[in-house]
Structures are given as structure tokens and as C-alpha cells.
Amino acid sequence: MVHIGMPRSRVYMAGAPGGGTIAAPAHGFIAQCLGKSWTMSFLEAKSIDEVVDTFRAPEFAGGIVTMPWKKNIIPHLDYVDDIALTLGACNHVSVNDDGTLHGTNTDWIGVRDALLEAQTSSSIVAGRRGLIIGAGGAGRAAVYALTSLGCKDIYVVNRDAGEVDGLAQDVQNYEAASRPNITHIQTVQQAQGLFPPHYIVGTVPDFEPSTASEIEAQSVYVEFLSKERPDQSVMLDMCYHPLQTRNLRLAQQYGWPTVDGVQVVGHQLKAQWKPWTGRELEEEQEKAAWEILRRCALSDPTVTPREANP
């Protein structure tokens, strides 16, 4: 039942059962800064219909969409901007006064800004190469971010060739002038004949490879890590459960500068709240929200295991 006049006060992060978020306290702080009595909670959705029903409820004020719903949410929204359509993935939903739902993507901003912050130079140089691990919704945001950083050639390491084909098809939505070349790297031998990437972005959950295709994918990743690193190279993992993923630790073993996934979350905070409220965070407010986010990451045992948290 729709209750006329019910205040919009609930912000959700929609994901799969068993998921969670470390960002709720930071979002709660931002809401207070912007004069909103809003609360954020994690929606453990078993279906995309459950996500849509929650977002259509009269108390809904804003939503963040995570795996596995970033692609599936698109046809259920009233409006999707060019960025989300180009990526083929939506992670941010806002609601208008008339109840219509608008989707965009802020993941790519988090990836781009986290990579830029990790470099000693913020210059964007054309002709760089990128590598992404995974080919899902987060992988699409990573491709868009790498393209914005000047990458024309992007390698993809992924166990499922069909997923990479789908990613490559979505990249055809890009303007021709900025459309990157997507190459699925399936074997170590194939990787051996390629120049090393400047940026590596992991977009998959942390797990120990077990199948033949998973083990081969990890071997391809290690082959790229073992090459001589270009200047300003960075490895970022969007996964932060745990903070130090297997892929991050491997990169560190080969001397790569690394960035954890919490940085990607933090660099989206400002971009996520502007569409919801029409207001910008002040610099000091944003810094305080970052501090809350980092504290939550360090205190959450699924992000920072106790043995890694002195």
C-alpha cells in the first residue's frame, strides 16, 4: 500500500544474500551533514524484482547497486543516463519527486580517481595499456575508467570467454574515437607476446583458483606482473573482502604499487550524494566521511581479519 506523503528516508545498497557494506556509517554521517534524516542499510535481494520493489517503495531515497544486479537493474528503471547505457552497468539509482527512478554509474569515478591518486603524476597520457580481471558489471566500469585515463588497448583476464564477448559487445556503445580495443588473454603464451599494462584492475571476488580455467587465468595474471613495469603503473583491486586480496598480495610480491577497494568506495561518496540531494559535500565533510569509512574497514573482520588488524 502506498502511503501518500510518506517521507523518503531510506537509502539501500542492493546486493546478494550474504553480502554487506562497510559504507553505511559514512553515508549516515553525510546525510547528517546535508540535513537529511536518512538511514542506509544493505538489501540482501534474492531477485531483481525484490530490488525493484524496494526501490519503488514510497520511503526510498536512493540506492547503490552491487553484484549481481548491476546489469539486470537497467531495464527496470525509468531513465538511464548515457554513461550507464554505454557501460551496460548501473550502480547508482536516484528517485525524482514523481517517483521515477534514474540510473547512472559512479563505479568508474571511484576507479579512475583511486588510480590517479596512487600515481606520482596526475597527467593523463594517451596510449597507455590496461588489464582487467573479470568481465562483469564492475569490469565494465573499469574499462570505462581506463579509457578515461588514456588506455586504448585493454587486456581482459577471465575464465569465461562468453562473458568477455559480452563485455566487448558493450564496448561497441562507445564513441568510435574513444572505443578501446578489448583482447581476451587466455593463455600464458599469449601474454608473453604482449607489452605490460600500465594499470591493472581486479573486479572479481577474492577466491583461491581451483578449476583448470581459474588456475590458467591466475597464471596469465602472474605473467603480466612479472614483466618490467612501466612508469606510473598501479594495481587496484575493487574487491575489499578482504582488504588484502590474493590479487593485491601477488602484485605486491612483484613490486607493483597497489590500491585497495575501499579507496574506490570513498572516491564515489561525493558523486553519489549530489544526485540524491542536489547538494555538494564540503571538503572537510568529505574528509570526515573518508575517515569513518576507513575506520569501519579496519574494524570489520571480513575486510581486515584480526591477525591483520593490530
Q: Give yes or no on whether 10-106+268-308 and 109-260 have one common fold.
A: yes
DSSP 21-39: -S-HHHHHHHHHHTT---E
Q: 12: which strand partners?
A: 41, 63
In sequence order, which residues have a C-beta less than 8 Å from that of residue 283 and are 6 or more positions away? none
Encode pLDDT of 75-105 as tens digits. 999 999 999 999 989 999 999 999 999 999 9
Average pLDDT (202-214) is 94
Question: With 80 as the cut, is the pLDDT of residue 124 above it?
Answer: no
Average pLDDT (258-284) is 95
pLDDT over 70, % of the chain? 96
- Backbone φ and ψ of 191, nearest 5°: -65, -35
Superfamily of domain 10-106+268-308: Leucine Dehydrogenase, chain A, domain 1 (3.40.50.10860)
Alpha helices in the chain (DSSP H): 24-33, 48-55, 82-87, 107-118, 137-148, 161-171, 188-192, 212-225, 246-253, 261-266, 269-277, 283-299
- Confidence (pLDDT) at 119: 83
The cell for 101 is 527512478
**Fold for domain 109-260?**
Rossmann fold (3.40.50)
Give per-residue burial for 154-181: e unless 16+ CB within 10 Å, then b: bbbbbbeeebbebbbebbeeeeeeeebe
Rg (CA), the chain: 19
Question: With 90 as the cut, is the pLDDT of residue 260 above it?
Answer: yes
* Whole-number Å distance between alpha carbons of 5 and 24: 25
Encode pLDDT of 34-65 as tens digits. 999 999 999 999 999 999 999 999 999 999 99
Question: With 70 as the cut, is the pLDDT of residue 287 above it?
Answer: yes
pTM of the full structure: 0.92
> pLDDT confidence of 4, banded at 50, 70, 90?
low
Encode pLDDT of 148-188 as tens digits. 999 999 999 999 999 999 999 999 999 999 999 999 999 99
- Confidence (pLDDT) at 307: 66
Contacts 24+ apart (CB under 8 A), 257-263: 257/118, 257/233, 258/234, 259/114, 259/115, 259/117, 259/118, 259/234, 259/235, 260/236, 261/236, 261/237, 262/22, 262/293, 262/294, 262/297, 262/303, 263/110, 263/114, 263/117, 263/118, 263/236
Looking at every residue in the chain, the average pLDDT score rounds to: 93
- Confidence (pLDDT) at 1: 37
3-state secondary structure of 106: coil
Average pLDDT (133-152) is 95
* Whole-number Å distance between alpha carbons of 11 and 9: 7
**Residue at 273: amino acid letter:** W
Could you tell me the residue ranges of all domains in the chain? 10-106+268-308, 109-260
Question: With 70 as the cut, is the pLDDT of residue 11 above it?
Answer: yes
